[in-house]
Amino acid sequence: MSDQCHDLTSLVAAVQQLEAQNSELRRAIRTLWLLLGGLTIVGIAGGATLQRTGRFEKAVEIVDGAGTLRAVLFADDGANRSGLELRDPEGRSRMTIHTHRNGDSLLQMFDKRGQSRMEMGFDENGNAHFHMRNGRGALVHELDAPF
């Protein structure tokens, strides 16, 4: 009976931890959509007043009022990837959405130290994956779906 109670307690704790992580991921995705919408509006409005065209060759950098780089929309980072990088008020990369060299997509979220903590997307072989890492970079949870 004691083992069953311990197993149930462990299961409840694991479910609570997953629910907290799910809530954090949902909050991050909502923030991402809001930022993407805001960047789109700023890009359209800013492009209309600052330039005659909205076409750029390599990247669009967005800075805040203090001049800190807050977002980069890039077409080629030298590794044949395109994407969007979002930064915090200190200018540290916190989230990237980009394509691999073969065109598959990847979403990464970073902690304040720059450590990749969550990653979701497709690897270069077409396999879907979701990985969560602790602050030391060790894999804590993973969900992989082969192609």
Residue 2 has a pLDDT of 64
Taking the C-alpha atoms of residue 19 and residue 38, their distance in angstroms, rounded to an integer, is 28
Structure tokens at 59: 């990247």
Confidence of residue 132 (pLDDT cuts 50, 70, 90): very high
Instruction: Work out how many domains the chain is built from and give that number.
Output: 1
* 30/87: higher pLDDT: 87
Which residue range forms the structural domain that includes residue 106?
Answer: 2-145
Task: Report, as an integer, the average pLDDT of 30-59.
Answer: 60
Q: Are 47 and 62 in contact (CB under 8 A)?
A: no
**For residue 102, pLDDT beyond 80:** no
Residue 55 has a pLDDT of 58
Taking the C-alpha atoms of residue 64 and residue 49, their distance in angstroms, rounded to an integer, is 17
Confidence of residue 77 (pLDDT cuts 50, 70, 90): low
Residue 105 has a pLDDT of 85
DSSP assignment string, 3-50: HHHHHHHHHHHHHHHHHHHHHHHHHHHHHHHHHHHHHHHHHHHHHHHH
The predicted model scores a pTM of 0.58
Taking the C-alpha atoms of residue 20 and residue 7, their distance in angstroms, rounded to an integer, is 20
Least confident of 42-56, 80-94, 104-118, 121-135: 42-56
CATH assignment of the domain containing 28 = 3.90.930
